[in-house]
Amino acid sequence: MMLENYNLEFVRIPGAVAAWRAEVNAIEWITTCRQAREEGGHLVALWGSERAAGFAVHAALATSHGLVVIAMPLAQARPEYPGIEEIFPAANRMQRAAFDLLGIVAQGSGDQRSWLRHAAWPADVFPLRRHFAGANSAATGVDDYAFVRVAGDGVHEIPVGPVHAGTIEPGHFRFSIIGERVLRLEERLGYKHKGIEKLFAAMTVAEGSRLAARVSGDSTVAYGWAYAMAVEGMCHIALPARALWLRALLLERERIANHLGDLGFIGNDAGLAFGLAQFSLLKENMLRLNAAVCGHRYLMDAIVPGGVECDIAQDALAQIGEEADELEKAVALLRHIYDEHPGLQDRLQDCGTVSPSLAAQLGLSGLAGRASGQAHDLRVQFPPEPYDRFDVRIAKSQAGDVAARVAVRFEEVFESLRLVRKIIELMPLGSVRATLSAIAPNAAGIGWIEGWRGSVLVAIETAADGRIARCHAHDPSWQNWPLIEHAVINNIVPDFPLINKSFNLSYSGQDL
């Protein structure tokens, strides 16, 4: 099929909502990316894979048509492709990670520093290649990362992390400051690298489902659904309506719980410990109900290929509805306190600002993007069932500061509570699981779901025996981490924890 304005023959990707695939050459690779950008599209993910005759680089592009996935075959001897960071700046770190893991090279890239390796394996060894020796490939030498230096009278550096004082994930932040004012921030991540993409290889799709749910524990429902969508598309099966509605219910509960936790911690980082206490209590009660209803506080493994792991009884649905009513009252009261607290607002307003123009240029996505004028939400633009029934309202702002990201969270909580009640009211009866057919050999599937942080993508390729040959899971944190480097400029160092928490990005989700 020819998509409008794209001079390529695309094939529809089954299962995913509005997703298309095409194989391209180097010229088509660049041309398609440029066209997508010129039409207002953005890069969702970039990754590499190894094939029988060489390698391939893949890019998933969000366009007005839906998800456009292009794959460019690369030669075995010289696996090179044109870099696209000048078109999509967010591609830079993805390109660097693809080289560290697979050895494919982005030609023309101005920054080819190692991103994930951290001298954990030799520079000429690539863990995602089929013949990676694993434990036999010990690293040698020192990991000397070339941070950008800022010089001048009164300028000095503050290195923070990767190990932090709190119980949080590791990341290194190199501040260049004058007085307390931040001139530059440079991040270095990759300390959470767990080898997930290598673990996927040779798994069955059932085994892969459990691993996908553990990519980033705060987004287990989003990853579980995206993975299941990819598998179900490869199997060409239709799901029972009740299973899809239950998935939506779980996804909204995941969104609410994360926003409640973040609203509390943002208040705490701004000096309002009362906010942390109140929102922590609300979140804890939600997690306990999750455990009572689904057997896990964070809904781990609740979604499986073919449907959901367990049904939710009518009395439990009623209990969830009652909780939604109580939450709405409590959150409305807390929002009034946050909005009217002069000390809190003084810390939140005009802090960590990302303008809509910069957000569009650098590809800021998800809730942080919506707080900076980027009104992208898959539940609205490309809604999977049952979201096409709900007329989801996008929470957005043009202000782009911490206050705007707080306001978007509040609005999304209220909208998710509305959706929860609607789902419970209209929940269809029936089964919650469909039988999967045999997984086709040498097949490919895509899942694309709007998680609480932004859109989550899972791309699967199967081998000749039907097992997983390649599975790439992409977190929206890839796009958003670089924006924190910009958001903190000209703010004071003590505001960094507040700015960072207002984004609340995943280290684990982008360090596979």
Residue 418: partners with Cβ closer than 8 Å, 6 or more residues away: none
Question: H or E segment at 229?
Answer: helix 220-235
Q: Is 22 helix (H, G, I), strand (E, B) or coil?
A: strand
At 289, list the tokens. 């109900």
Q: What is the DSSP letter of 123?
A: T
Largest CA distance in the chain: 71
Q: Is 56 helix (H, G, I), strand (E, B) or coil?
A: strand
- Residue 81 sits at the vertex; the CA angle it makes with 77 and 82, to the nearest 5 degrees, is 150
Domains of the chain: 11-134 (3.30.460.80), 155-188 (no CATH), 241-284+310-431 (1.10.645.10)
pLDDT at residue 7, rounded to an integer: 76
User: Do 141 and 121 meet the contact criterion of CB atoms below 8 Å apart?
Assistant: no
pLDDT at residue 137, rounded to an integer: 58
- Give CA–CA dist 317/28, Å, rounded: 50
pLDDT at residue 438, rounded to an integer: 84
Which of 294-315 are b and which e, b meaning 16 or more Cβ less than 10 Å from the residue's Cβ?
A: beeebbbbbbbbbbbbebbeee
User: Do 98 and 50 meet the contact criterion of CB atoms below 8 Å apart?
Assistant: no
pLDDT at residue 140, rounded to an integer: 63
* pLDDT, tens digit (0-9, with 9 covering 90-100), for 393-451: 999 999 999 999 999 999 999 999 999 999 999 999 999 999 988 888 899 999 999 99
User: Do 253 and 299 meet the contact criterion of CB atoms below 8 Å apart?
Assistant: yes
Residues of the chain predicted below pLDDT 50: 1-2
At 334, list the tokens. 């807390």
